[in-house]
Amino acid sequence: MKCLSNEKILGYLEKSLNNVEYSLTRDHILSCDKCKSTLRNFELLEGVLEEPSLIEPPGEIEKYVMAKLFPKFSHVASLVTLIAASFMLLIAGIYIYFDFANDSMIQAFQLTKNQATSIISSIVKFVSLVFSSLFAIFKAINTLLEVLLNIKIGVEVTGLIFAFILIMLSYLIYNKVFIKIRDSRQN
């Protein structure tokens, strides 16, 4: 008698055959050693697939892969980067304040009207608008502090305090969220 196909043996194992096919397949498996062996192999494979054994990789391999995926930046390097970015923002803020307060850049761009300078002029106008809005917000906060606390600080100092608070908040978010995520991925 001809041996059964793998599909037929799998159908028998999964009990997806109709009653007649199931009975014929069972009888054949009982009499054929080759098909019986194939059935045992499928049963072993199914057992392994149902409960796979997890093999832990060696520690050196895991550390190597994690180092490649997430290179380490020291805490000091991250802090230096944050301070450098804050310093650059401070310098840019001082430059924008003193330059846009006099509108000298806007006047220079209005003197030359071609396509390249109109794009740059639009960017400068946008930055000027943002600066003016922030200046108005700092002025309102300063007035509110004067009324509520009877303290005269000055608009520039209010802006610097706001910038300092923003920098510290950025640092805290960076420190709490991103470093913990990076460390959890490296461990």
Which residue in the block uniquely carries the two structure tokens 């761009």? 109
Beta carbons of 44 and 160 less than 8 angstroms apart: no
Give the containing element (helix H, strand E) for 61: helix 59-69
Retrieve residue 89's tokens.
Answer: 């923002």
> What pLDDT does 75 receive?
66
Q: What are the residue ranges in the chain where pLDDT is below 50?
A: none
> What pLDDT does 116 receive?
56
Instruction: Evaluate the CA torsion angle 116, 118, 119, 120 in order and state its sign.
Output: positive
- Tell me how far apart the terminal alpha carbons of the chain are, to the nearest angstrom: 59
> What pLDDT does 62 receive?
77
Beta carbons of 14 and 39 less than 8 angstroms apart: no
Beta carbons of 110 and 121 less than 8 angstroms apart: yes
- Please report, for the chain, the start and end positions of each structural domain, with discontinuous segments joined by +: 6-50, 64-186
Give dist(CA 40, CA 52) in Å, integer.
18
Give dist(CA 134, CA 141) in Å, integer.
10
> What pLDDT does 74 receive?
62
